[in-house]
Amino acid sequence: MDNLREVRKIDHIRQTLALEDGPQDNGFSHVHLIHNALPALNVEEIDLSLSFLGKKVNSPLLINAITGGHQSVTEINRRLAQVAARKGLALAVGSQSAGLRNPELWSSYSVVRENHPDGVIIANVNADTTVTEALRAIEVIEADGIQVHLNVAQELAMKEGDRHFRDWIKRISDLVQHSPVPVIVKEVGFGISKEVAFELLDRGVTYIDVGGAGGTNFVSIELRRQSKENRGFESWGIPTAMTLGEVIWAYQQKGIPFHEGAVIATGGIRNGWEAAKALAMGATAFGMAGSILKRLLLSVVPSQEERLIPQSSDLNGRIEAVEDYIDDFEQELLQAMVLTGSQNLQDLHGKPCIFTGRVKEWFEQREIVIQRNR
């Protein structure tokens, strides 16, 4: 099983490079910000920085969980950590389950802290992980927070996947009580409903990564590993704009102040304009994984090649390519902030959003009203 888990890590990278986002879109085309024709600020006054998990980061962009657990992906994590360090960004490692079962693989994760010694690093475990195992995952990379990923749909799509989910909420509750760092509950691409958000908040969770549909699709990835397709299954999930509204609404109903928790928007956010919409809705930060991985790898090793994972020499120069992508992304976010009259992220959180089409219909039927200035 351990070897199968390691091989699966490579398959996931191969399929992520090969597949497009979707089939659902993220919903942000139905979220609109109001143009400010007379912003009372100058471009150089815009501040994208924030305090996240107890440390200052230069941007709300989180390089989200991508990989780990196979010696051949160590170079990928090294380069991602170098990008995060140079740009002052938070970084989450991929699932550490493989390392917990085979300590020889820990170097594929610890390389992140080695190359981003002072930054925000987030550990990652599955929801069936024991407290003891989770604490070990935190310790190995000196993590500032720990993600617990929810991936029921992915497990069901895997022939070898887990079929027992009853104890997940208890595992999460136990970890919240014993973890020395904040626990971030994260969906992997199918969204979190307000009902699940309420249950998590009742258990003491205050950091939620909504992981909505519209980006990398792990059901599609698992089905392609089996040379299968299933349009109905692959279309499952709550699009990112909708799940973000569900979770933000739950926070508001619970009266949780903005500074006491964090909602992280992930799921197919592919430009700074969509990021600005997510932040205006109430997200503290937004995450990207698949699109960054593609910038790092696609032009280096074609996805159909047998030797998918590059060596160190293959990645020379690719850090700059990823940084250019992030720079363009953040430039778009900055432009959106100017055009809404937002000098900082707190200003942007208070800007009105107009919901149309599918998002409006969803919120109306789900009785969700997004209040300003969360």
pLDDT of residue 307: 45
pLDDT of residue 305: 44
The residue among 176, 101, 181 whose CA lies nearest residue 139 is 181
pTM for the model: 0.93
Strand partners, 55: 52
The two three-digit tokens of residue 131, written as one number: 């407290």
Q: Does residue 215 register a pLDDT over 50?
A: yes
Sketch the domain layout of the chain as residue ranges. Answer: 2-365
pLDDT of residue 308: 53
Least confident residue range of 33-47, 52-66, 195-209, 251-265: 251-265
pLDDT of residue 310: 57
Q: Does residue 112 register a pLDDT over 70?
A: yes
- Is 154 annotated in a binding site? The answer is yes
**pLDDT tier, 2 (very low <50, low <70, confident <90, very high otherwise):** low
- Is 54 annotated in a binding site? The answer is no
Quick one: average pLDDT of 9-28? 84
- Is 66 annotated in a binding site? The answer is yes
The two three-digit tokens of residue 262, written as one number: 């964090």
pLDDT of residue 304: 46
The two three-digit tokens of residue 8, written as one number: 């699966």
Query: Which pairing describes strands 183-187 and 207-209: parallel, antiparallel, or unpaired?
Result: parallel
- Is 216 annotated in a binding site? The answer is yes
Residue of 62 and 76 predicted with greater confidence: 62
**pLDDT tier, 12 (very low <50, low <70, confident <90, very high otherwise):** confident
CB-CB contact of 353 with 370 (8 Å): yes
- Is 129 annotated in a binding site? The answer is no
- Is 63 annotated in a binding site? The answer is no
- Is 121 annotated in a binding site? The answer is no
Q: What percent of the chain has pLDDT over 90?
A: 75
pLDDT of residue 225: 85
Amino acid at 368: I
Least confident residue range of 164-173, 323-332, 349-358, 364-373: 364-373
- Is 212 annotated in a binding site? The answer is no
Q: What is the mean pLDDT of the chain?
A: 91
Query: Which pairing describes strands 55-57 and 285-288: parallel, antiparallel, or unpaired?
Result: unpaired
How far is residue 233's CA from residue 220's CA, in Å, rounded to a whole number?
8
- Is 230 annotated in a binding site? The answer is no
pLDDT of residue 313: 57
2-365: CATH topology is TIM Barrel (3.20.20)
Q: What percent of the chain has pLDDT over 70?
A: 91
- Is 323 annotated in a binding site? The answer is no
**pLDDT tier, 260 (very low <50, low <70, confident <90, very high otherwise):** confident
- Is 270 annotated in a binding site? The answer is yes
Strand partners, 155: none
| 97-109 confidence digits (pLDDT tens) | 989 999 999 999 9
pLDDT of residue 374: 46
| 287-327 confidence digits (pLDDT tens) | 999 999 989 986 554 444 444 555 555 676 788 999 999 99
How far is residue 84's CA from residue 90's CA, in Å, rounded to a whole number?
6
Q: Where are the beta strands (DSSP E) in the chain?
A: 31-33, 50-52, 55-57, 61-63, 90-92, 121-126, 145-150, 183-187, 207-209, 262-266, 285-288, 353-355
- Is 290 annotated in a binding site? The answer is yes
Q: Which residues of 110-123 are buried (b: 16+ CB within 10 A; e: fewer)?
A: bbbbebbeebbbbb
- Is 155 annotated in a binding site? The answer is yes
Three-state SS for 90? strand
Q: Does residue 18 register a pLDDT over 90?
A: no
Cβ neighbors of 142 (< 8 A, separation 6 or more) are: 113, 121
